Structures are given as C-alpha cells and as structure tokens.
C-alpha cells in the first residue's frame, strides 16, 4: 500500500508553481492531518477514490469547523488537468463535508488564480478580501479573496 502522505506530496510537488509559494511541505501536511478536524481526499486519474496500489492524480485537504468546512488545498497533477478531476474532488468534498455537518464550504485564494473559474462554476461566491495578504517568494504582495459555497 502506498502511503497517503507520499501520494499527497507527489501531487503537491508537480502541481504548485513555486513562483507563488503556495505548496505545503510534508511537515505542514502531517501537522494538519494530526488533527481530527482535518481531512484529505485522493482522486485517481479516472476520477475515482484511489485504490491502495494506485498513485493519486489530485487531492484536497480540508478542515471541519462549526457547520463549515474550509478547503485548505486543492490540486490536480498538470498531466491530468481539464478532465474534470478538480470538479470531482469538489463533489466528493461537498458530500463528505455535508456528512460531517457542514452547511457551507469556505476557501481562500490569491487574486488571479485561474482556479476561480472552477470555484465559481461550482457555486462559490466571494465573501471577503484581504488586501496584500500573501507575499510571494520574490516579495510581491497579493490580495487574498475569500469564497463560500452553500451546501446545507
């Protein structure tokens, strides 16, 4: 059986452009998943939950709060993009979060991330903005946009 954190880290390494400094390191993932409130989902290249002997094509990390679930990270390996896997991960998250009692999903992203098209088509709408919240590795400041999606 392949270790799930290895599978997450493999997708992490291929999916995030280092220019933005958004990828988490293994320690950050392990720390997050040491809390019962944090969850992950691994999707195969066929859009199904991964089998024990399969590598992952994408993943999500999320955190349960009171009647809410925050999407912390969503990534699909570039080789498998625009095949509907990102959407299928959001579908799985919605179902799982709903089962955990969430009435809405939350997320935060940097302004200009093309993932916004996916989020908007899924039903996310903007609820907030933090001016110059993120700093890239080369020092640029970027606004953070906060979104919610009602699922309850």
Ligand X SMILES: CC(C)(COP(=O)(O)OP(=O)(O)OC[C@H]1O[C@@H](n2cnc3c(N)ncnc32)[C@H](O)[C@@H]1OP(=O)(O)O)[C@@H](O)C(=O)NCCC(=O)NCCS
Position among 2, 83, 96, 144 found at the interface with ligand X (CB under 6 A): 83
Q: State the Cα–Cα distance between residues 106 and 45, nearest whole angstrom.
A: 25
3-state secondary structure of 109: strand
92 makes contact with ligand X (CB under 6 A)? no
CB atoms within 10 A of CB 65: 14
Interface with ligand X in residues 24-63 (CB under 6 A): none
Taking the C-alpha atoms of residue 10 and residue 48, their distance in angstroms, rounded to an integer, is 18
> Choosing from 41, 68, 69, 119, which is the catalytic residue?
119
Q: Is 119 a catalytic residue?
A: yes
By CB under 6 A, residue 18 contacts ligand X = no
Please say if 129 is a catalytic residue. no
Catalytic residue among 54, 108, 133, 134: 108
Spell out the alpha helix ranges (H) of 34-124: 85-99, 115-122
Cβ proximity to ligand X, 42 vs 76, nearer residue: 76
Distance in Å, CB of 143 to ligand X, minimum: 14
* Nearer of residues 58 and 102 to ligand X, judged by Cβ: 58
Token code pair at residue 129: 């903005």
- The answer to whether 13 and 23 have CB atoms below 8 angstroms apart is yes
Cα–Cα distance, 131 to 2 (Å, whole number): 41
Binder among 18, 114, 137, 139 for ligand X (CB under 6 A): 114
Distance CA(66)–CA(60), nearest Å, equals: 19
Asked if 73 is part of the footprint of ligand X (rule: CB under 6 A), the reply reads: yes
Query: Taking CB positions, which residue lies at the least distance from ligand X?
Result: 86
Binding site for ligand X (CB under 6 A): 15-16, 73-76, 81-87, 109, 113-115, 117-118, 121
Q: Return the active site residues.
A: 108, 119
């Amino acid at each position: 059986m392949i270790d799930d954190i290895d599978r997450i880290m493999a997708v992490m390494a291929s999916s995030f452009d280092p220019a933005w400094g958004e990828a988490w390191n293994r320690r950050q993932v392990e720390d997050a998943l040491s809390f019962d409130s944090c969850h992950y989902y691994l999707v195969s290249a066929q859009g199904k939950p991964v089998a024990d002997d399969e590598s992952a094509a994408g993943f999500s990390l999320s955190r349960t709060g009171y009647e809410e679930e925050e999407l912390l990270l969503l990534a699909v390996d570039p080789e498998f993009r625009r095949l509907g896997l990102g959407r299928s991960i959001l579908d799985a998250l919605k179902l799982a979060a709903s089962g955990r009692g969430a009435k809405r999903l939350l997320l935060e992203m940097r302004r200009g991330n093309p993932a916004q098209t996916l989020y908007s088509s899924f039903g996310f709408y903007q609820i907030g903005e933090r001016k110059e919240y993120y700093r890239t590795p080369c020092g640029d400041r970027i606004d953070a946009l906060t979104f919610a999606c009602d699922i309850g």
